[in-house]
Amino acid sequence: MPGSPDPRPVHLVLGDQLWARPPAAAAGRRLLMVEDPGLATRRAYHARKLVLVWSAMRHYADERRAEGWDIDYRIGESLDTVLAEFADITAIRPREAGIRPLLARHGVVLVDDPGWWTSPEDFGTWLARHPAPRMENYWRDLRRRTGLLMDGKQPVGGRWNYDDENRKPFPKNHVALPKPSFAPDATTRAVMDHVRTLPGLIGTVDGFDLPTTRTDALALLADFVAHRLPWFGPYEDAMSSTDPIGYHSLLSIPLNLSLISPQECVDAAIAAWRAGTAPIASVEAFVRQIAGWREYLFHLWEQFPGDWERTNALEQERPLPAFFWTGDTSMRCLSIALRRVLETGYGHHIERLMVIGNFALMAGVRPQEVNAWFHQCYVDAYEWVVTPNVVGMSQYADGGWVARKPYVASGAYIDRMSDYCKGCAHDPKTDCPFTVLYWSFLIDREHDPRLREPLMRNLFGLARKDADERARWIAARARLLPTWNP
C-alpha cells in the first residue's frame, strides 16, 4: 500500500557501531546506514572528524556488501525521515544518549552493546554497593571477576599496579617514533572533497591520515604493540614539543568507531607480556586504560545521579578564552597543545588533562563550555567519553563523582614532565600563569570543607605561603584574567 512503512526488516548501523561482525539480531536483515548531515553538523566539529566517520561508514558498507550483506546506504538524508520508512528495525543500543529518543520514537528494538565487559545492569548493581564509586575498586573487582591479569586470586606479578615505576618525563635524547599514517584511498578522498565544501568546521581535511577501516585499525594495534607498548607505562604522562604522540596508541580513534574491539586490544597487549616483549608495568597501565577507565567512565556517565548539562560544583562561570580557538597565547605549553588539536583533531591524554583541562579549571571556565570545546575539536570525541572525562575528571564539576580530587598543577609540574618551559615567555617559578592560577585556586578553596581532603597534599604546600605571598598571587591573577577574557 503506498505510504505505509516498508515491512522488510532492517538493522540500523550507526557510525560508531562498525563491528566487523554484525550482531545476531541483524541476521537476515538489510543493513541500514545513514550519513545524516544534520546529525554530523549539529556542532561545528573538526573537519577530520567528519571525514573519519563518513569514510569509515562507507568502507564498512563496502566490506559488508562484499561479504553478501544487503546494504541500504543513504547519503544526505535525515535519519528521522529514513527510519520512518521502515516498520521493523533493530539496532545495537546507542552509546550517545542524544539519539536514543529518536530511535525509541521509531520503535527500534535495541540489542546489547558487545563492547563492554560489564553490562549497564551489572554496573548498576556494583554502584548500589559502592555509592561513592572509585575506579580502583571497580578495576580490582573486574579483574577478579574476569581473570584479566590475574594469577588465581592474586594480580599477576603480585601487584595491582605499577604506577610508581611509571610517570617519567622523556629522557633528554628522546626521539619521536614515526607516526602511524594511513594514506587516503579513493573512498576517503571523495569524502574529503565533500567535507571541503561544508562551512564552519574546525581545521582542514588536508593531511588526513587516520585509520578508516578494520585493516587500518589492526595495523595500528600491531604497530603499537611492537613499537610503543613497551614504553607506554613509563612515559604515559610525558609531554614533548617535538613528539605529539609519544608512546600513546591512537587506538581511541578506531575503538570509538568499533572498528576494533577493546577485547582485541587487551588480548594483544597481554600476549606481548606473555611473549616477554612488553613489561607488566606497561601492559597493566594500557589494559587498565582500555578495560578499566574507558568502560568505567562510560558507566559513570550513564548512571550519574545529577545533570551533566548543569552540574557545576565549583561554581565556575568564566567564558572560554578566545585563544582556545587559535592557540595564540604566550603560554608555550598551552599554545603547542591547542594548536595540535586545532590542526589535527588529536592530542594525547595528558595534554588534555594536565595542560588544557588544568588551565581551564584553574582559570574558572564554565565546565560545559570546556566540554563543548573538547567535543568539537577531537576526532575521537563522543558524548559518553568526553563528558565524564571533561566535566567530571578534568573540571571536577560533578563534585567528585568521577575523580577523587581536582586535577590542578602549577608550572613546576609541566616543567618536570615536558620540555615546554624552555623557550617559553614565562618562568614556571615566577610569572607562569599556571603557577599564578594554581596558588590562587588553592587560596580560594582552602576553607571549602568539600575540598579539604581531596586537596590535602596541595594544601600542605599552601600552608607555607605567608599573607604577602598569597596577596601577590591573587593580584597577579587579577591582572591576567582580563587579558584572556577582555
CA distance 44 to 377: 8
Quote the least distance from Cβ 338 to ligand SF4, whole Å. 12
Nearer to ligand SF4, 245 or 417 (CB): 417
| 164: three-class secondary structure by DSSP | helix
Pairing of strands 150-151, 154-155: antiparallel
Q: How far apart, in Å, are the Cα atoms of 420 and each of 6, 333, 410, 486?
A: 59, 5, 13, 26
* Count of all residues that appear for the chain in the document: 486
CA angle 329, 379, 241 (to 5 degrees): 40
Q: Which is nearer to ligand SF4, 161 or 240 (CB)?
A: 240
Q: Is 32 helix (H, G, I), strand (E, B) or coil?
A: strand
Burial of 52 (0-12, 13-18, 19+ CB in 10 A): buried
- Residue 112 or 431: the one with the smaller Cβ distance to ligand SF4 is 431
Q: Which residues bind ligand SF4 (CB under 6 A)?
A: 331-333, 411, 414-415, 420-421, 424, 426, 428, 432-434
Q: Are strands 89-92 and 150-151 parallel, antiparallel or unpaired?
A: unpaired
Residue 220 makes CB contacts below 8 A (sequence gap 6+) with 180, 211, 249, 250, 251, 253, 254, 260
Q: How far is the CB of 442 from ligand SF4 (least distance, A)?
A: 17
| Least distance between ligand SF4 and beta carbon 377 (Å) | 20
Cβ atoms within 10 Å, residue 459: 16
**Residue 427 grid cell:** 618562568
Q: Three-class SS of residue 151? A: strand
- Burial code (b: 16+ CB inside 10 Å, e: under 16) for 14-23 equals bbbbbbbebb
Shortest distance in whole angstroms from residue 418 CB to ligand SF4: 8
User: At a CB cut-off of 8 Å and minimum separation 6, what does 296 contact?
Assistant: 135, 138, 139
State the sign of the Cα–Cα–Cα–Cα dihedral 274, 278, 284, 289: negative
Q: Which is nearer to ligand SF4, 9 or 411 (CB)?
A: 411
**What is the arrangement of strands in the sheet containing 89-92, beginning at the earlier edge strand?**
71-75, 30-35, 10-12, 89-92, 109-111
Residue 92 bridge partners (DSSP): 111
* CA 323 to chain centroid: 22
Shortest reach from residue 405's CB to ligand SF4, in Å:
20
Q: Amino acid identity, residue 25?
A: A
Torsions phi, psi of 263, nearest 5?
-60, -40
In whole angstroms, the minimum distance from the beta carbon of 428 to ligand SF4 comes to 4
Minimum CB separation from ligand SF4 for residue 206, in Å? 28
Cβ atoms of 64 and 21 closer than 8 Å: no
Distance between CA atoms of residues 153 and 144, nearest Å: 7
The minimum distance between CB 331 and ligand SF4, in angstroms, equals 4
Strand partners, 217: none
- Determine the Cα–Cα distance for residues 310 and 327; give it in Å rounded to an integer: 27
Judged by beta carbon, residue 227 or residue 429, the one nearer ligand SF4 is 429
> Could you tell me if 292 and 265 are in contact, meaning their C-beta atoms sit under 8 angstroms apart?
no
Closest CB to ligand SF4 among 37 and 169? 169
- Report, in Å, the least distance between residue 399 CB and ligand SF4: 28
Contact 279, 273 (CB under 8 A): yes
Query: In angstroms, what is the minimal distance from the CB of 421 to ligand SF4?
Result: 3
Q: Considering beta carbons, is residue 30 or 167 the nearer one to ligand SF4? A: 167
Least separation, in Å, of the C-beta of 196 and ligand SF4? 34
